[in-house]
A = this chain, B = another copy of it.
């Protein structure tokens, strides 16, 4: 990581999620949507700004996009001002036929009524089980309860971050501050993982709030850029869900406007949003279902970014490669094999593969260079890959483009966990 001094923002040592941002309140409740195990588990979250927000979002590109995703897209296209998000876990409201859209609209209306806001100013997000209609009486009770406890407190922010989790083992929160003259902009985010993590985002939510004022077109551009190098650059199992959603809300409560007229501020804010996205994406992959290792793939020397990405995804999604990481076995042969079937023309004699400890200042240990394996280095690779996190550097030697992908190992625990619904 670059040193903190070089960053144009400050990362809070302890984040409480979206209530760290001026003008945002959160509320959560336990509506027993799962109807199993812990019936008092938080499963309904409300995120609210009384001041109207601009908003931006990116969504799953799955052809079976769930009703709440369709409703969010519609709201973004139509409305000009937004006040919040209703999100539930335990049921994805996906693949349930026409009933799905009816229920998503009912959630939106119930939340809007409780918050005294226009219906289309509220985003609706659902995650969890696919194919089962939402238990609407419970959902409505949950919305009412969550709206009643809306607060700007740290515990309210953390409760909302917990209410959106499914198979995640912990809440995912991050807060950064961008000092500007005598004021400060806050940007905070919460997210959920943890399976179905792959391209174009996957069974994941990320909700980001800022008290900067940002016009919608600029916010949209910043969001797309931020998502590209973060949520779209992680993979746990290569599966992409029907419900993936990233939403960014900007309420202007800091009194600072971010626009192209002040390039230094814009650069600092852009870096802050990218950092928030990057930290949340990293937390998602690190908390992948039953994983034990995180592998950072840095593909360089490609003719173009698309080639580098194809190779990174072939490696990051190879079952043989991921199984070998689980076993703490470097197995560069499987990595090259996966690179070889990515559909990219390669010259083995130009390829250089090295392992590096997670610490960016660590020295890379080459395993294969210009067509030849370097078996003498094996004890050193083995040690690197035995850590919970490591980096694989693959230089194709063909050009100047690069791609970074965060991946995880494949474990017996993953298969066991996912073998039934």
Contact = CB atoms under 8 A, between A and B. Distances in A.
Contact of A337 (B97, B241, B412, B417): B241
Contact of A331 (B326, B415, B421): B421
B418 A415 contact: no
A166 B264 CA distance: 61
Contact of A344 (B63, B131, B200): B63
Interface of A is mostly: loop
A180 interface: no
A47 B320 CA distance: 31
Interface in A307-357: 317-320, 323-324, 326-329, 331-334, 336-342, 344-346, 348
Contact of A341 (B61, B97, B195, B344): B61
Contacts of A334: 130, 239
A181 interface: no
Contacts of A337: 62, 64, 94-95, 130, 196, 239-242
A332 B94 CA distance: 12
Contacts of A344: 63
B318 A238 contact: yes
Contact of A63 (B242, B341, B372, B412): B341
A368 interface: yes
B63 A239 contact: no
Contacts of A317: 238
A371 interface: yes
Contacts of A131: 332-333, 368, 373, 375
A319 B420 contact: no
Given A196-B320, A336-B64, A239 B415 contact: no
A411 interface: yes
A333 B98 CA distance: 16
A416 interface: yes
A387 interface: no
Contacts of A64: 336-337, 339-340, 346, 348
A237 interface: yes
B63 A324 contact: no
A65 interface: yes
Given A63-B348, A320-B237, A421-B329, A242 B410 contact: no
Contact of A419 (B98, B327, B339): B327
Given A195-B320, A320-B195, A340 B410 contact: no
Interface of A: 60-65, 94-98, 129-132, 195-196, 198-200, 237-242, 317-320, 323-324, 326-329, 331-334, 336-342, 344-346, 348, 368, 371-373, 375, 410-412, 414-421
